[in-house]
Structure 1
Amino acid sequence: MKAILLKETGGPDMAKYTEVEKPVPSIGEIVVKLKNASLNRRDVFITYGMYPSIKLPSILGADGAGVVESVGDGVESLCQGDEVVINPALQWGDDIRFSSSEFHTLGMPTDGTYAEYVKISCENVYKKPPYLTWPEAAAIPLSALTAYRALITRGELTKGETVFIPGIGSGVALFALQIAVAKGAHVFVSSSSDRKIERAKEMGAAGGMNYRTDGWVKALKNEMGGADIIIDGIGGETFKDLVQLASPGGRIVNFGATAGPVPELVLPRVFFKHLDIRGTTMGSPQEFADMLTLFEQHEIRPVIDKQFPLEDAVSALKYMEDGDSFGKIVLNIE
């Protein structure tokens, strides 16, 4: 079969379109013939070696959707021909509060979805919501699961609360916007792009601010009146702005640090406001199932920015790296 294989780090150009052996399911496993896969920022980080416990060679890709090709012994929940979407959070464990020491994500070290076929435990495969197209189904898993857990489980979102999402345009940020709007929250966003802010408003955001504008933090605080929940995947210097934007008793839920460590956080600004700072990443099988149910109830559709053929995955990774996308980047495999 054809796949995108990473044998050594050094950036997206090190990912090669090549022929590899088609997988065969073992006990409790299935093989999915993939229709589409989608990109995540972790894929770019892996090509540079900027991810914990790099083990190569590996086929990249966490997200995918397709048709069950074959099933191993002991599989009763699925059969050949089923249309499915893959949960890339492997071996979460029994405690919904946090993942187990065996937890890892599909796409390194376990071979992933940038391929014609992928082998995976049947426990990580769910029926595709019928209202979704194949590209839409493939765009959901990692980012939507991350957003769902950040907002619902860790953020404890309730109807009518105010949510702030910095850096709108990424997959997780947009899913967080869609989930929060579906739950009846008032959502505000930020971006360096006025175009992205306007598109977020079209999707239900109540307002937004360009963070390159002088005094944007004060202006946003005046507009939204403080945030009950802030969903952050950026970290870095801007984290201090989030402390200022949070309402007393607010929750800041962080799932990433694309801007690096947080420098010189003034703790009195945290404890005098009685803030909760909560970490999160990915999610449990139950949260994945609950996320799909919510999406079906509200017919939430992913925003897809651009599609590339599988053989052009390097260009797709570079396009993601440029950072100008609004929504998910999808690979067409068939």
Structure 2
Amino acid sequence: MNRRAAKLSPTTSIPTTMSGVVLTGHGGFEKLQFKTDLPVPRPGPGEVLIKVAAAAINNTDINTRIGWYSKAVRSGTSEGGYTGFDSSHDDDASWTGTAVSFPRIQGADCCGCIVAVGEGVNDGRIGERVIVRNLLRTYVDHRPWECWTFGSECDGAFAQYAKAPSRETFKVKCDWSDVELASVPCAYSTAEGMLHRADVRAGETVLITGASGGVGSAAVQLAKRRGATVIAVAGVAKAAQVRDVGADRVVPRGENLVNVIGKDTIDVIIDVAAGPQFAQLLDVLRRGGRYAVAGAIAGPIVELDVRTLYLKDLTFLGCTFQEDVVFENLVSYIEGGEIRPHIGETYPLKDIVQAQEDFLSKKISGKLVLVIPK
């Protein structure tokens, strides 16, 4: 690393190569390659270099690997999670609808320590324990509704070192472990972003799908923090865990929501599933209700009766972009002791395939986190 280009930690020796996992193309697990000779990135102007301690597994990592974001794919993530989709088109197989540049180091979640800073960054930041905003606005000049995902449009945290914009790398003061902190950026910001956009308020009743997953369980905690009553949809085997994180009621996945909950009873839907139950979600919404969505793990193609939408005066909110305040609020919630993630399992980085297999199996409740070699 050129010492004239970056200020380094006086106590940390930064190597020229590192271990990491690279994605070589869209497809199955064979597209993930663990390497020990990757070049350590150099922080440019306004950037910091982070020695990564932990990085969590998320749906977006798998969706990008398998090409699920391509509009040619019409089924849920699980159908192509192991082998990819033959129908996927490389030119629109990223969440932005454009081609991914390969090889790519994925990893939307990052917890680590700043060990070097680029030009224009105060070297007093060296030594800070940080997390990185997973939806980066710096690289698109903070234009409204645009962002890059850490680990998709740029390299992410599935390696020993990663660089990120200083202004979007947040120091966090708390007693959490690195593994716990690494579980926050993607899942919790997605959940908080939906709640923020839907303006969830105290006293409202919120229905959350996929409530045992990373985003869903985060949404349960964050909705309760806002004073809402939470009805969660989850598998029977994980109902106790969902109650433990704050759900007032758990409805078994697959049950008819109208029969179990009743029509016109819910103020806000927080949805990451879509799929076959989509019409039921709209039926249980009250008139004037809000539907916020940030995922479609059960299937992206749904049937919509437009009469339900306009006759009930519903508001639909597609939620990807996040206002700056969303991540800033998350840091304050952590430091204030208002939330706490549930960790299901940890894995060494080289075992990323096993971690993704376990993630797809849905057998382990809580976040699955990769521990990065020192």
Normalising by structure 2, we get a TM-score of: 0.82
Query: How far did 1:282 drift?
Result: 4.7
Structure 1's unaligned 5+ residue stretches are none
Q: Could you give the per-residue CA deviations for residues 119-160 of structure 1, whole angstroms, max 9, x where no partner exists? A: 1111110012313211111110011111111002x1101111
Give the equivalent residue in structure 2 for 1:27: 45
SS at match of 2:52: strand
1:3 aligns to 2:42 (yes or no): no
Question: How far apart, in 2, do the equivalents of 1:94 and 1:323 lie?
Answer: 38
Counterpart pick for 1:233 among 261, 265, 272: 272
- Secondary structure, aligned partner of 1:137: helix
CA contact (8 A) 2:272 2:297 kept: yes
Q: Cα distance, 1:265 vs. partner? A: 1.0
- The reply on whether 1:301 has 2:347 as its aligned counterpart is no
Say whether 1:67 aligns with 2:110: no
1:85-104 matches, within 5 Å, as 85-91=131-137, 98-100=144-146, 103-104=147-148
**Matched pairs, number:** 326
Tell me which residue corresponds to 1:161. Answer: 204
Counterpart-to-counterpart distance in 1, 2:228 and 2:28: 39
Could you list the runs of 4 or more consecutive aligned residues of structure 1 that deviate by over 3 angstroms after TM superposition? Answer: 92-96
Q: CA deviation at 1:78?
A: 5.1
Distance (whole Å) between structure 1 residues aligned to residue 116 and residue 173 of structure 2 = 20
> Do the aligned partners of residues 27 and 216 (structure 1) sit closer, same or farther apart at CA in structure 2, a change above 3 Å counting?
closer
Determine whether 1:43 maps to 2:61: yes
Secondary structure at 1:241 match in 2: helix
Report the secondary structure of 2:34's partner residue. strand
- 1:212 CA drift (Å): 2.9
Deviations 1:247-306 (A, max 9, x none): 111100011122233433111122221111111115233321122213333431111111
Give CA deviations for 1:46-75 in whole Å, capped at 9, x if unaligned.
Answer: 221223222211011010111111111100
Distance 1:3 1:95, change over 3 A: closer
- 2: CA distance between counterparts of 1:315 and 1:199? 23
- What is the correspondence of 1:183-332 to structure 2 with a 5 Å cutoff? 183-191=226-234, 193-213=235-255, 215-221=256-262, 226-332=265-371
How far apart, in 2, do the equivalents of 1:55 and 1:114 lie? 16
Separation in 2 of the partners of 1:262 and 1:14?
27
1:89–1:284 contact (8 Å) kept in structure 2: no
Partner of residue 148 from structure 1, selected from 188, 192, 199: 192
Report matched runs for 1:129-148 at 5 Å.
129-148=173-192
Alignment match, 2:151: 107
CA contact (8 A) 2:236 2:253 kept: no
Contact 2:190–2:320 under 8 Å retained in 1: yes
2:169 partner letter: V
Of all paired residues, the percent bearing the same amino acid is 30
Task: Report deviation, 1:312.
Answer: 0.7
Give yes or no for the alignment of 1:174 onto 2:213: no
Using the alignment, how far apart are the partners of 2:223 and 2:239 within structure 1? 16
Give the equivalent residue in structure 2 for 1:58. Answer: 104
Q: Is the 8 A contact 2:174 2:334 kept in 1?
A: no
TM-score by length of 1: 0.92
Q: Label 1:13 to 1:188 Cα distance change in 2 as closer, same or farther (>3 A).
A: same
DSSP-derived class of the 2:126 partner:
coil
Q: Find the aligned partners of 1:268 and 1:17 in 2 and give their Cα distance.
A: 51
Match in the other structure for 1:84: 130
Mapped partners of 1:148, 1:277: distance in 2: 16
Q: How far off is 1:216 after superposition?
A: 4.3
